[in-house]
Chain A
């Protein structure tokens, strides 16, 4: 059983590869840094929602190597990404571009925020503006109020006495 176990582990685990491998790492740390940044934004085609940077699939490894090849060949970051997109389609981009219908995706939040603020401003303005149906008191109401309150000067003297 122990030997079988050792065999199984050696056999199965040997076929399961593993995110960024030591052999893939470029000698130039700046170039490697760029490679990591790019590979974090590219999707592994086989996996569910994983970047090639963290994926164990073979195709992700191939893509990682491809990215590094292009970088070593002197491509800029955008050139590398464009190269991969040209080959595999925009599906590989984890950060979708803003072209065409994707504008909806990118602008959904900001536009809704602006509309909400606009709506709130209108409501607020409506709430603070005096209601045209509510005029001031009519002259008879004014008189009734005055008689209830009593003469103005008397009230002030009352308060002074207190």
Chain B
């Protein structure tokens, strides 16, 4: 009963979205106030209906209602409750419903928070947003109905990929979707501005908090995904340049560029057309990402829920929206540009450089991601583009970005000279150079990767600290009175520095050891002792496992025991590995157990992973920076919460 009601609710939401698109857009064109206001009513109605449908679907998963096809295929009675809930979005239909839920959530947020926006702009933003919702609801209703019943309900479900039964991955998709879909709002703002034919400082101020929020969620989502890969996939990698990862990384890069160009629109009313284009591209890459993940066109290490035929639909949605947006852009954009002059040495130039580097690095990732497809279709060459390509082609742009960042973020607007800024940054530069030399002297390998990573990280963090102190006029007492946006900026930049350093340090200074160990054996790895205490068979709620307990001694001091497992999930007939990880501030000790050897003992692979946690620490710091910036008074005013300010 509930299932059918929810299905009907989705149909209603579809019609509400169609009217919610058409009516406000006509209202804005003909200046009819009541028609425009319908946009907000429709947005709230859509949210209520889609949230109801999503709630019913969640309930079906929680109560294991196997008469529902996707529950029968993706769930199982033995699965722990949290993964039953996460199973809602662990499949194609459910994840699309989550996507639409977030679309309507953002639209409703604009409807509620955007009461200070000009009425026509708000109506147009909500109209465009409803158009996107319409397309996705049609996609769900016609090809991917989550409420499809089975004629005969099976006795039990078919389970879910055991790799996905993990807290990191349960939370990863919702955050990514919040990011992807958050960019739909900036897209709607961009289209609305093109329809209005006006982009001004106020527009830049309105669009920034939404972009910030989307970027914040993307950062958390990507960080969670990378953390999951690190501890779950069994060899401690954190980034694989896999098509699906790239799919989330490209919108992140573009959103980062958009964040910065929107500042130029806000402060100087320049780069307007470019900012609009970035807003369109950011959402385009979100759709490309959804297409890549959902269609499985590019084979990937973790395309868990995909179907090529449905990919065509997403491609169609992508073509209509992005194609339409770009046509509109080509038609209206020239009218937007104003000519302002700024010198080569100025904040404007620095932000242009930021945009160029971010956009081109995104382009490199894009070309690398689709190249296997292009090469096969056009040149009949079957080839792979893997991490070694991306490491070589992408890294230089990031290094350039990190080198100019502290300087660019400190020089004044319009016309400036480098001398004063560079003098202020001398201590930061000296620190970075000293650390580079020190790391080079101390390390045993000849590779420059570690020292350069350390220097860049120190340069960014010290640069951020320098900037905060400069903003406070060099007085600690004034630090507390700085606007939150200043803190947010410095924090996010420092976070980037931490992540860059950690990635370089982990890649350069990791120690690996592969050997056969029997129970009671101790291995000495780079100053640590790892002892294999016992290996036993264990039975989990829905898996069997071979579990090995290790004792690690650091300088002779025994640490808490850590457990490595090899699990087998009978329902999915699939083995997985669980690494034993001793987390530490300076390094992780990471142990994986392998096959029992013919001559007795087990294969054991141990790693010392220096600064591993700093990678995600940096992501958290970046996200925190975005959060601080989001709570700056200016944005709260802009988002419409005037009473709070």
Contact = CB atoms under 8 A, between A and B. Distances in A.
B441 interface: no
B474 interface: no
Contacts of B356: 113, 116-117, 120
B243 to A, nearest CB: 7
Interface in A136-150: none
Given A90-B382, A96-B371, A102-B375, A5 B544 contact: yes
A20 B597 CA distance: 14
Contacts of A25: 514
Nearest to B340: A127
Given A50-B301, A96-B383, A124 B367 contact: no
B248 to A, nearest CB: 15
B269 to A, nearest CB: 15
Given A109-B363, A127-B339, A96 B566 contact: no
A34 interface: no
A25 to B, nearest CB: 6
Interface string A97-126: 000111011101100110011001000100
B31 interface: no
Interface stretch (B7-15, B198-206, B387-395): B387-395
A22 interface: yes
Given A109-B397, A112-B363, A14 B575 contact: no
Interface in B366-399: 367-368, 371, 375, 378-379, 381-389, 392-394, 397
Contacts of A1: 539
Contacts of B514: 20-22, 25
B74 interface: no
A49 B537 contact: no
B544 A9 contact: yes
A96 B375 CA distance: 11
Most buried by B among A22, A40, A116, A117: A22
Interface in B336-350: 339, 341, 344
B466 interface: no
Interface string A28-62: 00000000000011010001111100100000000
Given A49-B299, A108-B364, A93 B570 contact: no
B568 A13 contact: yes
Interface string B464-488: 0000000000000000000000000
Contacts of B594: 18-19, 21
Interface stretch (B116-124, B156-164, B234-242): B234-242
A22 B363 contact: no
Nearest to A43: B384
A128 interface: yes
A128 B514 CA distance: 63
Nearest to A40: B388
Nearest to A92: B384
A87 B361 CA distance: 34
B603 A22 contact: yes
Contacts of A113: 356, 360, 397
Nearest to B517: A22
A22 B515 contact: yes
Contacts of B605: 18-20
A89 interface: yes
Nearest to B363: A112
Contacts of A109: 360-361, 363-364, 367, 393-394, 397
20 contacts: A2-B537, A5-B537, A5-B539, A9-B566, A12-B568, A13-B546, A13-B595, A14-B596, A18-B605, A19-B234, A21-B594, A23-B597, A90-B382, A92-B384, A95-B392, A100-B379, A105-B367, A108-B367, A109-B364, A113-B397
Given A6-B537, A94-B388, 6 more contacts: A13-B546, A20-B514, A41-B386, A41-B388, A113-B360, A116-B360
Q: Which 5 A-B pairs have the closest CB atoms?
A: A94-B386, A95-B388, A18-B594, A109-B364, A5-B544
